[in-house]
């Protein structure tokens, strides 16, 4: 298990890579200022995504991570996570 500082640093780095620094800071501000139930939010996040689609995307992501031994399972900016794939599909639906 990572300590809190490492976890916060990694989380902020991922947010900044995917959203940009300004949007990442904005996201954190939104989470902090509004009443927010993370568990409830997560339960509804992929409700419109078929399980098979989500599992296939997750397996593809895992396979891509295994092909990149220098990263040892860490996501790269070129790799698209299953969540991003699903989000793109929903946005274009």
The CA angle 44-48-53, to the nearest 5 degrees, is: 115
Q: Please check whether residues 63 and 82 belong to one and the same domain.
A: yes
What pLDDT is stored for residue 74 in this prediction?
53
Range of the domain at 4: 1-36
Is the pTM higher than 0.75? The answer reads: no
DSSP 2: -
Q: Please check whether residues 23 and 61 belong to one and the same domain.
A: no
- At 46, give phi and psi (nearest 5°): -115, 25
Reading the chain (93 residues) residue by residue, the pLDDT tens digits are 778 999 999 999 999 999 999 999 998 898 888 887 888 888 888 888 888 998 998 899 888 888 876 555 454 445 566 666 666 666 555
Q: Please check whether residues 49 and 77 belong to one and the same domain.
A: yes
């Amino acid at each position: 298990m990572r300590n809190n500082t490492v976890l916060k640093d990694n989380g902020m780095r991922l947010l900044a890579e995917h959203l940009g620094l300004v949007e990442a800071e904005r996201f954190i501000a939104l989470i902090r200022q509004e009443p927010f139930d993370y568990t409830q939010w997560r339960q509804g996040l992929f409700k419109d995504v078929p399980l098979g689609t989500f599992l296939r995307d997750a397996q593809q992501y895992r396979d891509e991570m295994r092909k990149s031994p220098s990263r040892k399972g860490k996501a790269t900016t070129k790799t698209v996570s299953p969540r991003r794939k699903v989000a793109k599909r929903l946005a274009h639906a």
